[in-house]
Amino acid sequence: MRGAGSTEGGEWSFLIGLVMAIAGIGTVFYNARNPIGWMLAVGSLVTLVAGVLANARFWLRSMSAFDLIVILVLAVGGIGLMLRGLRAGGGRSDRAG
């Protein structure tokens, strides 16, 4: 039986990474103004995204232009909404009307 990611010792790397990710998110929830917690959370997210992208295989030849446009619009739109939510005030306007 092989470990996580079909590598020897992969389960320990996975568990250590999981603990680090939980610690980064936990410190942000405990104290949202803690810069160390934010650095851990952002670092964990960047590492997670980089790992997924490094191991992803995209087959653009079998994908239609419509499929590609839908994927890109949803991805960029989702990122935009997440960043908008992080702004002060949650992206809401203070003006009435």
- When mean pLDDT is compared across 59-63, 71-75, 87-91, the lowest value belongs to 87-91
Q: Do 7 and 48 fall within a single domain?
A: yes
Mean pLDDT of the chain: 78
Confidence at 76, pLDDT banded by 50, 70, 90: very high
Residues 7 and 52 in one domain: yes
Task: Look at 16-25, 42-51, 86-95 and tell me which has the smallest mean pLDDT.
Answer: 86-95
Distance in angstroms (rounded) separating the CA atoms of residues 12 and 15: 5
Q: How far, CA to CA in Å, does 67 sit from each of 25, 27, 36, 62, 63?
A: 33, 39, 39, 10, 6
Mean predicted confidence (pLDDT) in 50-62 = 80
Regarding whether 73 and 49 lie in a shared domain, the answer is no
Q: Would you say the C-alpha torsion 16, 2, 46, 18 has a positive or negative sign?
A: negative
Structural domain including 88 reads 58-97
Q: Answer yes or no: is pLDDT of 69 > 80.
A: yes
